[in-house]
Amino acid sequence: MQTSLIILKPDAIQRGLAGQILQRFERKGLRIAAAKLMLVPREQAEKHYAEHHGKPFYDGLINFVTSSPVMVLAIQGLEAITVCRTLIGATNGRKADPGTIRGDFGMSGGFNLVHGSDSEASAERELALWFTDNELTDTPRTIEQWVYDPSDL
């Protein structure tokens, strides 16, 4: 099992798309392990996007993610990190495939609705940055036995 750190960015919340986007992850069979709505402190945004420091879009990105509340989620499932990135689609909404979140809801490269961890190392770092251990739930769901084929784990 993997857990991915997902952020529904300010454009998703302002456009009233949080429910529809969250449904994409839920209907896939992934489990919501944690969730919170928050206005992101600037230092938190800078830590989260540290790898992009110095890039041309960095200042705009930090201004954007701190401009209005976001929904932060921990999403869990088998190979959840790759599965979430596939559901999210390419960075630019105009280039993202139809059927992906960005491909279906977005027209922008910056305002692209959702963040998803891009590797196990990123997920570990980002989960620790956004959630305390006791905010991450682990209560089993009985439905998992119909989501996963035990012979295929």
Structure tokens at 116: 């998803």
When CB distances are held under 5 to 8 angstroms depending on the partner's kind, the choice from Mg ion, ligand IDP, none that residue 63 binds is none
- Position 106: which residue type? G
Contact string 106-135 vs Mg ion (x = CB under 5 A): ------------x-----------------
- Residue 77 beta carbon to ligand IDP: minimum distance, rounded to whole angstroms: 19
CB of 39 vs Mg ion, minimal distance in Å: 22
Neighbours of 59 (CB within 10 A): 10
Cβ-based nearer residue to Mg ion, 60 or 152: 60
> Among residues 98, 103, 102, 105, which one has the least CA distance to residue 115?
102
Kindly give, in sequence order, each residue whose CB lies less than 8 Å from that of residue 124, ignoring residues fewer than 6 positions away: none
Note the residues at the interface with Mg ion (CB under 5 A): 118
